[in-house]
Structure 1
C-alpha cells in the first residue's frame, strides 16, 4: 500500500539526481546563491528519501509463516 510518505520518498529521487549537476554548473558559472539553494533542496530531498519506508520491507510482525498448498494457489499465511 502506498502512503503519502512512500510517494514523497519516490518523488524525492528526482531532485537527488538532478541537483548535484545544477550545483556543479552554478558554481562553475559563479552563481553561488543558486548553488546554496540547490544544496538545500538536495539535503531536504535526501532526508525525505532516507526517512521514507521502503517498499521492499516485510510489514508482517509475526515470523510464523507457512505456504498453504491447496493445489491451485500457494498463498503465504502468517499467524
Structure 2
C-alpha cells in the first residue's frame, strides 16, 4: 500500500464509531414526536400533493404548518 493511501481508509462499522454523548446531545435538542397516519382517497391525496408541489413544499410541511396555525 502506498504511503499516500495509508490511513485514508479504515474498516469497521460506522455505527460503532459514533460516540454515545454526541447521539444523546443531538436528541436533547429535538422535541418528542408522534406519528400521524390517516387515509385519503386518491383524489384527495392528489389534490393535497398538487397543492404542496405548487407551494414548493412537502405534504408534511403543509400539514405541520396547518396544525401549528390551529387555535389552542
* TM-score > 0.5, shorter chain as reference: no
More helix by share: 1
Smaller-chain TM-score bracket:
under 0.3
Provide TM-score, normalisation by structure 2. 0.23
Which of these two proteins has the greater Rg computed from alpha carbons?
2
Q: Which has the higher strand share?
A: 1
TM-score by length of 1: 0.22
Whose relative contact order is higher, 1 or 2, with alpha carbons under 8 Å and at least 6 apart? Answer: 1
